[in-house]
Amino acid sequence: MTIECGQTTTQDFAWPTDSAAIAVNSPDICGARSYELYEVISGVNSPQTFITLTEIVNGATKTERLTATTSDETKIATHNMKLIIKLGNIGKSPYPTLTKTFNFIVNHATCDCTLLTWDKPAAQSVSTTVKRASVATLTLVHATVNTASKSTTPAIRRCYEVNATPPQTPCSETTAITAVVDNATSAIPSFMTLAGSVLTVNPTSNTQSKTYTMKVTMSTPNNGPQIWTTVTVTVADCVITSLLAATVPSTLSYTIHATSNLVMTLTTPGFQQDPACGYALTETRSWTIPTGAPLTFDATKYILTASSSRNLDDGIYQVSLAESAVYSGNTFSNSVTFSVTVTDPCLTTTITPFTIPDFTLENGKSRTDDFTRPTDSAANAVSKPNICGNRTYLVKETVGGVDVSQTIVTISEVTAGVTYRLTTLTMLES
């Protein structure tokens, strides 16, 4: 008989008869048979436990069956076996016996990696919200080989035997996540993707909000797919994390007396939701413009206007916008400021140069010379001659490089705002 360690084999043989029973056609005249089965070790009949003998009765037919098995690797060898068949010994003297010897060969088991079992991973979960800025991911943990299953039988122990002859290759434990689906629909939701072992969850609508029980399938080299349903994905409705305020300029500039007003339409009068949940908000906003500033604001059209004809309005004015919005009981607030620079053009205006020719006058006589009123660049730019105020004129005499008062030349206006006249009068020599 030959087996691999860990296996079981049977061998049947006919129920033995004896000549006395055959002669009178009475099988039991010598009493009931008995059997003794030994392993012969160094010529000595020794007890053994790996072969048993049973009698099989099928009507008038009787068969004897040897059943051999062992899971003990120390029994891997050729065993010399002895079977002794005895009669009933119901007479005064012992009856004859029959002895049969045979070999029982136990070979190494064949490595069988299909005997491995796998431990499912612990439960995993991930939670996210619709349209969340940072996409949620979950790295799925793989099932692993049950350590105890590597030593349960000779066939699996053979796979991991060290210094075996021939050498053995341990079972591959390489695995891969092959599918993740909603356990309720057997399909992966449209907002989930699987790449390798990473599940990405990126919901886009509140209609996707609920808790999903996912069925994970993992491939193994020898033990078929491993499946578990202990991964949950929870999706909640979109949550606003911040509100983006209206876009405003950093600075605006306006020049007093400009022919057209500064008109600025501010963009994005409403809050921008981040993420863009699309919820209705209760919004309020208020503008603060410094008192006396040459600025007006149309809160309905979101138009800021600067207009002034007063040189005294020159300055830098800080305008502020306070905004707030209420969403699900949460109040979001923003405050933005920008400056409007209002410039007096007369500070940098250039007076148009003009020339008064030299003239000679006899003592005691007088003379008049007219010249056109000089203009300035600021006034010319807006065709408003007096935006820098009324002009004043003063005639001085330069003596030794110093301007001094004099009484010889006077100046007067001939044509209002247009022509001026120099009148020169000399006195008789005294």
Q: Which of 236, 252, 267 is the last residue of a domain?
A: 236
Domain assignment present for 69: yes
* Beta strand segments in 224-372, E: 226-236, 242-244, 251-255, 262-265, 272-274, 282-288, 295-298, 303-306, 315-327, 330-343, 366-372
What token pair was written down for 205?
A: 């609508």
Do 231 and 127 sit in the same domain of this protein? Answer: yes
What is the model's pLDDT at position 341? 94
What is the model's pLDDT at position 235? 98
Do 213 and 277 sit in the same domain of this protein? Answer: no
Beta bridge partner(s), residue 402: 399
Cβ atoms of residues 257 and 386 within 8 Å: no
What is the model's pLDDT at position 17? 81
- Enter the pTM of the model: 0.64
Per residue of the chain (430 residues), give pLDDT as tens.
999 999 999 999 887 888 888 888 887 788 888 899 999 999 999 999 999 999 888 877 788 999 999 999 999 999 999 999 988 888 778 888 999 999 999 999 999 999 999 999 999 999 999 999 899 999 999 999 999 999 999 999 999 999 999 999 999 999 999 999 999 999 999 999 999 999 999 999 999 999 999 999 999 999 999 999 999 999 999 998 887 766 777 788 999 999 888 888 776 556 788 888 988 888 888 889 999 999 998 877 778 899 999 999 999 999 988 888 888 778 888 888 889 999 999 999 998 887 777 777 777 788 888 888 888 898 888 988 888 888 788 888 888 889 888 888 888 888 776 777 777 665 444 3
Do 385 and 284 sit in the same domain of this protein? Answer: no
Range of the domain at 340: 242-346
Cβ atoms of residues 200 and 180 within 8 Å: no
What is the model's pLDDT at position 246? 67
Q: Who's near 280: CB < 8 A, 6+ residues apart?
A: none
What is the model's pLDDT at position 428? 44
Do 222 and 129 sit in the same domain of this protein? Answer: yes
CA distance 73 to 5: 7
What is the model's pLDDT at position 429? 43
Q: In this structure, what DSSP letter does residue 232 have?
A: E
Domain assignment present for 283: yes
What is the model's pLDDT at position 317? 95
The amino acid that residue 188 corresponds to is: I
CA distance 46 to 79: 11
In angstroms, what CA-CA distances link 89 with 35, 96, 152?
13, 9, 46
What token pair was written down for 290?
A: 């410094």
The Cα angle at residue 188 between residues 183 and 190, in degrees rounded to 5 = 135
Do 127 and 95 sit in the same domain of this protein? Answer: no
Do 295 and 331 sit in the same domain of this protein? Answer: yes
Do 75 and 132 sit in the same domain of this protein? Answer: no
In angstroms, what CA-CA distances link 145 with 59, 168, 170, 206, 335?
50, 18, 12, 40, 60
- Give the count of domains, the chain: 4
CA distance 303 to 296: 8
What is the model's pLDDT at position 142? 98
What is the model's pLDDT at position 2? 96
Domain assignment present for 31: yes
Q: Which of 10, 9, 79 is nearest to 45 (CA)?
A: 79
Do 341 and 258 sit in the same domain of this protein? Answer: yes
What token pair was written down for 11?
A: 């061998």
Do 219 and 260 sit in the same domain of this protein? Answer: no
What is the model's pLDDT at position 425? 63
Q: Which of 107, 140, 173 is the last residue of a domain?
A: 107
Q: Who's near 105: CB < 8 A, 6+ residues apart?
A: 1, 2, 3, 77, 78, 79
Q: Which of 207, 70, 61, 189 is nearest to 126 (CA)?
A: 189
What is the model's pLDDT at position 430? 32
Do 130 and 212 sit in the same domain of this protein? Answer: yes
Do 222 and 183 sit in the same domain of this protein? Answer: yes
Domain assignment present for 352: no
CATH of the domain at 286: 2.60.40.10
Q: Which of 187, 210, 236 is the last residue of a domain?
A: 236
At 40, which helix (H) or strand (E)?
strand 34-41
Do 118 and 94 sit in the same domain of this protein? Answer: no
